[in-house]
């Protein structure tokens, strides 16, 4: 049974529109201020207790307010790899990890979300990531390397290092995202298939390691580590409110 709870920044809204259905909306605003509307099933859980392992199948109907929204939005499974939480305000204690994910993910420029030069890194993507579970102290020892991402040559070396640990696969999805479509995710231990309206858009052996959690979100952030350039991240201006409507198709 999928049970999701809202997670949002001030001014954003998450409205239940029916059983297993939500409207997620972020307000218009300037760059430099993060805006998020999200539902998920992991906020109070440590990563080792995330609820999902293969085999797992998700099907939902969704649409968004515009085709080129500033920031990111999407839905699927991940291990919340970049969070740092000390367990305050009801959140679980969690430290950064390498990414494991299988999802539909939209990323506007200047996002660049691929460590591999031959995979798409912007636009509406069906994508997977698979990485080993490394101990948090070992990752902490490597954190100073991220500071080198501000130097172009070091950033390229960092991309090469990440490719040694993180496998990924991705495909661009050609769809009118402002119209209702059915999106499906079939996660098996050795295979992931992502489909739109019953047609597979990505079938890959790059299957993430569990346990994972379910996340559905819309925000105005960006992160980029391009082949030529430096590590960059922040939040974008969105002149108009942005929204997503989602309805789970539960068995």
Q: Which residue, among 71, 101, 5, has the nearest Cα to 222 in the 3D structure?
A: 71
CATH topology of domain 5-248: Jelly Rolls (2.60.120)
pLDDT of residue 162: 79
What gap in Å lies between CA 199 and CA 181, rounded to an integer?
A: 11
* Domain positions in the chain: 5-248
pLDDT of residue 96: 82
Q: Let me know the angle formed at the C-alpha of 155 by 154 and 157, rounded to the nearest 5 degrees.
A: 65
Beta bridge partners of 186: 57, 193
Determine contact, residues 120/91, Cβ cutoff 8 Å.
no
Give residue 136's pLDDT: 60
pLDDT for res 160 = 77
Q: Which residues of the chain are under the pLDDT cut of 50?
A: 86-88, 138, 140-142
How much is the pLDDT for 225? Answer: 85
Q: What is the pLDDT of residue 147?
A: 52
Residue 88's pLDDT is 44
- Per-residue pLDDT, 151: 56
Looking at residue 6, its pLDDT comes to 97
- Tally Cβ neighbours within 10 Å of residue 29: 19
| 99 contacts 76 by C-beta, under 8 angstroms | no
Give the start-end residues of each E strand in 9-130. 13-18, 21-26, 36-40, 56-64, 72-78, 85-86, 93-94, 101-107, 123-130
Exposure on the CB side of residue 148, measured as CA atoms within 13 A? 12
Full-model pTM? 0.91
């Amino acid at each position: 049974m999928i049970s999701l709870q809202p997670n949002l920044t001030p001014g954003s809204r998450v409205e239940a529109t029916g059983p297993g259905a939500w409207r997620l909306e972020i307000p218009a605003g300037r760059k430099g201020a993060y805006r998020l509307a999200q539902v998920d099933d992991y906020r109070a859980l440590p990563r080792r207790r995330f609820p999902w392992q293969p085999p797992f199948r998700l099907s939902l109907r969704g649409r968004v307010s515009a085709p080129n929204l500033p920031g990111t939005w999407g839905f699927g499974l991940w291990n919340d790899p970049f969070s740092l939480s000390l367990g305050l305000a009801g959140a679980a204690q969690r430290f950064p990890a390498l990414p494991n994910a299988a999802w539909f993910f939209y990323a506007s420029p200047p996002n660049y979300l691929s460590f591999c030069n031959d995979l798409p890194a912007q636009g509406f993507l069906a994508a997977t990531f698979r990485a080993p579970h490394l101990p948090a102290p070992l990752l902490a020892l490597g954190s100073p390397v991220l500071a080198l991402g501000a130097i172009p040559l070091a950033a390229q070396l960092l991309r090469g290092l990440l490719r040694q640990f993180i496998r990924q696969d991705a495909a661009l999805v050609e769809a009118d995202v402002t119209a209702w479509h059915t999106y499906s995710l079939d996660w098996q231990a050795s295979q992931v298939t992502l489909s739109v309206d019953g047609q597979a858009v990505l079938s890959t052996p790059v299957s993430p390691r569990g346990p994972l959690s379910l996340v559905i979100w819309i925000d105005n952030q960006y992160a980029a580590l391009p082949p030529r350039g430096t590590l960059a991240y922040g939040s974008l201006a969105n002149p108009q409110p942005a929204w997503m409507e989602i309805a789970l198709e539960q068995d």
